[in-house]
Structures are given as structure tokens and as C-alpha cells.
């Protein structure tokens, strides 16, 4: 149990006095140190971290190989930007080229998820010379103006921010559990494509659409896994009209779902793929990858960045990806994810307020419902608070905040997974 909180209170008071309070913090914990699956606060309390800083520290906090790579690189070269080439930038791009599925062989390094989404959209617009973008309901792509415009997981993120970039049209994401036909997933996918037909017939000519942008699994929108037929059908529709398919793997990449990238579960190729979060175990780095045949049409200097591909972040990425590969952490995510979801589905049998347990690998969502089956934020909030009382950090997501998401490190041990399940058993009691 959490004991003292004296220093925590002091720091939170100081935070209030100096930090722009638009930055919401999800738990009243002042972290001091991280190691593996645990965070330690300034009062010495220890927390099992099932958030990994929102899906970032995929190989655990302060993995020794990442720490070593960062230390070594920081002593050698911290920054040059585009004033010179540098070795770690090139090695990171070679590695991303190697692990990116399909024919994606041209890499641009940036700093954050939003920044790589911006780059992907700019590339798609430039190479197609078309203005329109189609996104999907429940999506989250970031906080910049373009990314806000593309985000539909909650109005809250873009309320009062109009005008936003125009020519964005939204189609329904096949969210089977909350659909009109929850027992017929294919009918839900059919409905998405019927609505895309409506868009193309009544809102925008498909020849004016540069790109579809889609998350392979909705992240912030509720950890929603679409039926397997959705993305192949979207790929076919994109091909029919010469539309770029942008797959946003910012949250689902780097072993999280049981493959290096979630799209690899399906026989689908992206034209452009975005990645960030789990790329460098916590160092700020992101990338968008595409095909050289496309990026060669984009003249040098049309896009750029000062900090993107910083040598220290690249060194961390190379170390982190090596650990994911050498320790077979994607397979570990599949195995542990299946075990945890099986246990959670069993738990849900005695918890009528857990409407669905879903996910892929270690991207696991529990959707909470009220007595009428409606989305219940009340339940989610209660579970998050009870987990915190039991020294475990979890996050919520979903349009109404009705989903608990579990995003542990892929290095979570069997006993840590058991401990997490025990805490969830307590936290979900009526
Ligand atoms: N895309 C997806 C799928 C995300 O989940 C996020 C962040 O949660 C982003 C983009 C934006 O990333 P960032 O917060 O690093 O800008």
C-alpha cells in the first residue's frame, strides 16, 4: 500500500505554481526512478507500471542497454541537426527500413507522434497533388492543428480550436462491440464501406482524396481491434482510387501487439507508416516511412526538423529495437497477452460491468458498462483509483473514458502479470 506522501504533496504544490495546467497528469504520483516494470516515487513508494508512459517504455524503464547506449552517445555527440550527416541517424534508418513491413524503404526521423503524422500527411498531399484526407471515427493522431483535425476520439481535444485544416472527412471505424450488429462483425465492416461510398458520392470525389489515415487498432479511442477484413478492404479501395494508405502505428508498433507492427497481422501494405512511442524506450523519436519511389518526388527541404533524429535518441532506438528482437519480445507479448486476456475474460464472467475484454498482444482493453449496458466512465475511474491504492498504475481511454487499457512492458514477468491480475480482481469488485 502507498504509505507516506509528504514529498509528493510538496512537489505537486510546486508544480501547480509553475506548470501550465493544460498539461493534465493522470496520477498524483511524482516519479523519481524507474526500473523494469516499476516506478518509484519521491516518497519511496513502488508502483507496478501498466502504463509504460502511454505505451513508450516497451522494454521496461531504464533498460540497462538503453542507458548504456545513451551514456556512450551523450559523451560522443549530442546534436548536429541537418548541418551534417551522422552515423546513428543512418544506422537507425537502415534498421527501420529493415523492420518496416512490405516495401517501405524510405525513412524520415522526427520527434513525436504528432510530428510524424504531420509529415506523413504532407508527403501524401505532395505526391498525389490532392487535398482530401479521410480519417475514422474514434481516431487519435495528436495535438497539432492537423492532428487535432484528424482526431475524433473526443471533442474535448479540439473544442474551441476551429478553424482546423479543411477537407477532412470521417468514416465510421468498425467498432463491433458498440455497433448495431455486435454479433455480425462483417456487417459492421460492410457499414463502414457503405459510409465510404456515401462520402465518395455525396461529399468528396475520391480523385480529390490524398490519403486514408487509420490506426490498425484504435488507441486513445478505446483499444478497438477491427475485424481482420477491414484493412485489406481499405487497401483495395485505396488502390482503386489512387489514394495513399497511411497506417498510424504510433501506439501499436514495436512488438506491442505481438508483431513488430500491428499491420503485420494482416496481408496489407501501407504506403506510409508512422511510428513513435515504443521506438526508443522513452527517448523522444518518431518516424514516418514510405517507398523511395514516392519520397524521391518530394524535393529536399520541403520538409525538415531541427531536433528529429538526434544522435542520443537514435542510439536509444538502436539499443531498444535490438532488445525487442534478441529477446523475442513480440512473441512474449502474444503469449502473455493471450494468458492475460483469458484470465480477464474469466474474471468478466463474474463482473457484469465488464462488457468486453479485447486486444492484441499486450495492447489490452476492458470496456466498462453501466446497468443498461451504456459506456461507464464511473466504473473506469473507480478501477483506476483502486489500482492506484494498490500501487498499480493503469490508464483509461475510449470516447466516454469507459475503457481501461493495459499497456505493460513487453518484459513483464509472469509473476508481475499475476500480480496485476490480482489487483484487477480486487479493483473490479462490485
Ligand atoms: N498517433 C497515435 C495513434 C497516438 O496514439 C498518438 C498519441 O497517443 C499520437 C499519434 C500522437 O503522439 P504524440 O503524443 O507523441 O504527439
| pLDDT tens digits for range 47-61 | 999 999 999 999 999
CB-based pocket (< 6 A), ligand 1: 54, 112-114, 117, 140-142, 215, 219-220, 248, 250-251, 276
Q: For ligand 1, what atom is nearest to the CA of residue 276?
A: 15
Percent of the chain, pLDDT > 70?
A: 99
Residue with cell 489500482: 387
Q: For ligand 1, what atom is nearest to the CA of residue 112?
A: 15
Whether the Cβ atoms of residue 273 and residue 263 lie closer than 8 Å to each other: yes
**Mean predicted confidence (pLDDT) in 117-141:** 98
Q: Check whether 2 has a pLDDT greater than 60.
A: no
Residues 6+ apart with CB under 8 A from 212: 133, 134, 135, 234, 237, 238, 243, 244, 245, 246
**Mean predicted confidence (pLDDT) in 136-152:** 98
Q: Check whether 39 has a pLDDT greater than 80.
A: yes
Q: Residue 82 — pLDDT band, cuts 50, 70, 90? A: very high
Residue with cell 466498462: 368
Q: How far is CA 79 from CA 266, 324, 366, 374, in A?
A: 38, 26, 42, 51
**Mean predicted confidence (pLDDT) in 420-428:** 98
Residues 6+ apart with CB under 8 A from 376: 353, 368, 369, 370, 400, 402
Whether the Cβ atoms of residue 169 and residue 199 lie closer than 8 Å to each other: yes
Which pLDDT value is given to residue 98?
98
- Taking the C-alpha atoms of residue 373 and residue 17, their distance in angstroms, rounded to an integer, is 42
Q: For ligand 1, what atom is nearest to the CA of residue 144?
A: 16
- Taking the C-alpha atoms of residue 140 and residue 257, their distance in angstroms, rounded to an integer, is 18
Which pLDDT value is given to residue 3?
64
Q: Check whether 148 has a pLDDT greater than 80.
A: yes
Q: For ligand 1, what atom is nearest to the CA of residue 251?
A: 5
Measure 419 CA to ligand 1 centroid, in angstroms.
29
Q: Check whether 4 has a pLDDT greater than 80.
A: no
- Taking the C-alpha atoms of residue 31 and residue 47, their distance in angstroms, rounded to an integer, is 10
Q: Tell me the best of 54, 121, 140, 263 to mutate to test the pocket of ligand 1, counting ligand atoms within 8 Å of each CB and taking the most.
A: 140
Which pLDDT value is given to residue 42?
97
Which pLDDT value is given to residue 312?
98
Which pLDDT value is given to residue 214?
99
Beta bridge partners of 47: 39
pLDDT in tens, 193-207: 999 999 999 999 999
Measure 219 CA to ligand 1 centroid, in angstroms.
9
Measure 142 CA to ligand 1 centroid, in angstroms.
5
**Mean predicted confidence (pLDDT) in 123-140:** 98
Measure 346 CA to ligand 1 centroid, in angstroms.
32
pLDDT in tens, 221-239: 999 999 999 999 999 999 9
Amino acid at each position: 500500500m502507498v504509505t507516506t506522501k509528504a514529498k509528493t504533496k510538496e512537489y505537486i504544490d510546486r508544480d501547480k505554481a509553475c506548470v501550465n495546467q493544460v498539461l493534465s497528469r493522470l496520477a498524483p504520483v511524482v516519479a523519481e526512478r524507474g526500473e523494469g516494470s516499476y516506478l518509484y516515487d519521491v516518497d519511496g513508494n513502488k508502483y507496478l507500471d501498466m502504463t509504460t508512459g502511454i505505451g513508450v517504455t516497451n522494454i521496461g524503464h531504464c533498460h540497462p542497454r538503453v542507458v548504456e547506449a545513451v551514456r556512450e552517445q551523450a559523451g560522443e555527440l549530442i546534436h548536429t541537426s541537418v548541418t551534417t550527416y551522422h552515423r546513428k541517424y543512418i544506422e537507425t534508418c537502415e534498421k527501420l527500413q529493415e523492420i518496416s513491413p512490405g516495401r517501405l524503404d524510405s525513412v524520415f526521423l522526427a520527434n513525436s507522434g504528432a510530428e510524424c503524422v504531420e509529415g506523413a500527411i504532407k508527403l501524401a498531399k505532395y505526391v498525389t497533388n490532392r487535398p482530401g484526407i479521410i480519417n475514422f471515427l474514434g481516431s487519435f493522431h495528436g495535438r497539432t492543428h492537423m492532428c487535432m483535425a484528424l482526431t475524433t476520439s473526443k471533442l474535448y481535444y479540439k473544442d474551441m480550436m476551429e478553424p482546423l485544416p479543411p477537407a477532412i472527412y470521417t468514416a465510421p471505424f468498425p467498432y463491433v462491440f458498440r455497433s448495431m450488429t455486435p454479433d455480425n462483425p462483417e456487417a459492421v465492416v460492410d457499414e463502414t464501406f457503405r459510409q465510404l461510398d456515401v462520402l465518395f458520392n455525396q461529399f468528396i470525389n475520391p480523385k480529390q482524396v490524398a490519403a486514408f489515415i487509420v490506426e490498425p487498432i484504435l488507441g486513445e479511442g478505446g483499444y478497438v481491434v477491427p475485424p481482420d477484413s477491414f484493412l485489406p478492404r481499405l487497401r483495395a479501395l485505396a488502390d482503386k482510387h489512387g489514394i495513399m494508405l497511411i497506417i498510424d502505428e504510433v501506439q501499436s508498433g514495436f512488438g506491442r501487439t505481438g508483431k513488430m507492427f500491428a499491420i503485420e497481422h494482416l496481408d496489407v501494405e501501407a504506403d506510409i507508416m508512422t511510428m513513435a512511442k515504443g521506438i526508443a524506450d522513452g527517448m523522444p523519436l518518431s518516424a514516418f516511412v514510405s517507398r523511395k519511389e514516392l519520397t524521391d518526388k518530394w524535393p529536399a527541404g520541403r520538409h525538415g526538423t531541427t531536433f528529429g533524429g538526434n544522435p542520443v535518441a537514435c542510439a536509444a532506438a538502436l539499443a531498444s529495437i535490438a532488445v525487442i528482437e534478441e529477446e523475442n519480445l513480440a512473441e512474449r507479448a502474444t503469449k502473455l497477452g493471450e494468458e492475460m486476456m483469458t484470465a480477464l475474460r474469466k474474471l468478466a464472467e463474474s463482473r457484469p460491468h465488464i462488457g468486453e475484454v479485447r486486444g492484441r498482444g499486450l495492447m489490452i482493453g476492458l470496456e466498462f458498462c453501466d446497468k443498461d449496458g451504456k459506456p461507464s466512465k464511473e466504473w473506469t475511474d473507480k478501477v483506476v483509483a483502486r489500482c492506484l491504492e494498490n500501487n498499480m498504475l493503469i490508464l483509461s481511454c475510449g470516447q466516454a473514458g469507459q475503457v481501461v487499457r493495459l499497456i505493460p512492458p513487453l518484459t513483464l514477468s509472469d509473476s508481475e502479470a499475476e500480480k496485476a491480475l490480482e489487483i484487477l480482481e480486487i479493483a473490479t469488485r462490485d
